[in-house]
Amino acid sequence: AEEAEKEIRRDAGRVAEIQKRFSINPQKKNIILISSPFNIKDLTIFNDTEQYEYTEKNILAIRAVYTEAEADILLKIHPAERIELYQPLEKYGVKLFGKDTNNAELIHAGDLYIADNTNVNFTAIRAGKPAIFINFMNHRCFVSPGIL
- pLDDT per residue as tens, the chain (148 positions): 566 666 666 566 888 899 999 999 999 999 999 998 878 877 778 889 998 998 999 999 999 999 999 999 999 999 989 999 999 999 999 999 998 999 999 999 999 999 987 888 888 988 889 999 887 654 444 444 444 4
Q: Identify whether the C-beta of residue 36 lies closer than 8 Å to the C-beta of residue 135.
A: no
- Name the nearest CA neighbour of 73 among 65, 81, 82: 65
pLDDT at residue number 5: 62
- Name the nearest CA neighbour of 92 among 59, 120, 121: 59
- State how far the Cα of 112 lies from the Cα of 30, in Å rounded to an integer: 7
- Give CA 97 to chain center in angstroms: 9
- State how far the Cα of 46 lies from the Cα of 78, in Å rounded to an integer: 15
- Name the nearest CA neighbour of 32 among 117, 94, 78: 94
Q: Identify whether the C-beta of residue 142 lies closer than 8 Å to the C-beta of residue 136.
A: yes
pLDDT at residue number 19: 92
Based on the number of CB atoms within 10 Å of its own CB, is 134 exposed (0-12), middle (13-18) or buried (19 or more)? middle
pLDDT at residue number 147: 45
Residue 134 has what DSSP assignment?
Answer: -
